[in-house]
Copies of this chain bind each other. A is one copy, B any other.
């Protein structure tokens, strides 16, 4: 181990909250109660979630730390912009996932139980870059979704049916 690696390896020297506060300060924007409440909830336990699932976990209207739906949308967009979350679409809804220290990854989507299984593949990134190079295309990102049935749903009927996607 080289001397500087001691610094590199400090595990979580910058928390999401700190990173977001820096983001706000850099832009002269304000550190409000609502932003803190949403951030706290998002980074408490979620992996990926949609807006409705997030709202279920937040205080309801009338309660102490209520955050309105428009503000939630606005705040999540800021988190994406600040690099804390990534956003994608699934069945006509926006889905967010943590982007905090994670390496990029992609998903297997089970059509039986609607669960998302993450995987990471360097080979995929290499393949992506090779394809892009062939087309003189400058890559900023990618999204791969493999659809099918997870191991659980292959044996036995579907379980944990969640919500019917629209499409």
**Using a CB–CB distance below 8 Å, which chain A residues touch chain B?**
87, 89, 92, 94, 108, 110-111, 117, 119, 121, 123-124, 127-128, 131-132, 134-151, 154, 167
Contacts and interface: CB of A to CB of B under 8 A. Distances in A.
- Leading 9 A-B pairs by shortest Cβ distance: A136-B151, A139-B148, A140-B148, A142-B146, A144-B144, A138-B149, A138-B148, A141-B147, A143-B145
B167 A94 contact: yes
Given A92-B92, A127-B121, A167-B87, A135 B151 contact: yes
Given A89-B167, A94-B167, A121-B127, A137 B132 contact: no
A127 B124 contact: yes
Contacts of A144: 128, 142-145
Contacts of A146: 128, 131-132, 137, 139, 141-142
